[in-house]
Homo-oligomer: A and B are copies of this chain.
Amino acid sequence: MDNFVWDKDRQSRTGVAEAVFCAHKSDQDLRAIIEFSQSNEAPVLLTRLNLDQYQRLPVKLQQILDYDTTSSTAIINEPPTIVSCNDICIVTAGTSDLNIAAEAQRTLAFNGYKAPIFSDVGVAGLWRLMEKIDHIRQYKIIIALAGMEGALFSVLAGLVRAPIIAVPTSVGYGVSQDGKVALDSALASCSPGILAVNIDNGFGGANAAIKIINQFSER
């Protein structure tokens, strides 16, 4: 484990637990990190651990992990259950955004927050959003996901009091194939109060929401 430095006090310093981004890591480094984490007995969230990487792990390490295919996340040493405070909801423009929504939802759960997903309420059929808007309005923070042109961010921000954490997704093709249009739509929105994270960054959106809640709760 020479190559990995445990951020031992991240939880107390920043309010969010240790997580490891697995996308570019070698199989060898992943194995070392998982073994170290287990022996360390601290809860760790692995993100962007794709199915291929997972399946190349030794079986005994696979068994240590609570792995979820939809979100490509895994948990080592499940943290003790924390009572959900029900402050956050997740809203998606389409069903294609669900993988990233799951990454956000699992990150929240790992940190003790249970958040429902309102899916497929994109603005092409505005009535779908309007049917659910009163329900959505009850949450203190909204994590919204949209790809393509990301118009959902602007419409939502004009309808609710909650801050919108916009997670643009790489759903689309042609000019929007990499999520850049959805991101720029969030940033350039005519509706004030939208906050953006990186494309497909469900983990980051969840972290920001957690930081906000932490600041205003007694936890």
Binding site for B on A (CB under 8 A): 2-5, 7, 9-10, 13-16, 19, 21, 23-26, 29, 33, 48, 70, 93-96, 98-99, 119-128, 140-141, 147-151, 153-155, 157-163, 165, 168, 170-201, 203-204, 207-208, 210-212, 214-216
Contact = CB atoms under 8 A, between A and B. Distances in A.
A183 B175 CA distance: 9
Nearest to A147: B24
Contacts of A196: 187, 195-197
Given A161-B214, A215-B162, A26 B98 contact: yes
Contacts of A173: 23, 48, 198-201
A26 B210 CA distance: 28
A5 B127 CA distance: 10
Contacts of A141: 212, 215
B207 A140 contact: no
A157 B119 contact: no
Given A3-B120, A141-B215, A161-B211, A198 B188 contact: yes
Identical subunits present: 8
B208 A198 contact: no
A33 B135 CA distance: 25
A161 B215 contact: yes
A122 B140 CA distance: 25
A197 B200 contact: no
Contact of A192 (B2, B168, B203, B216): B203
Contact of A211 (B5, B162, B180, B208): B162
B5 A120 contact: yes
A171 B157 CA distance: 20
B24 A171 contact: yes
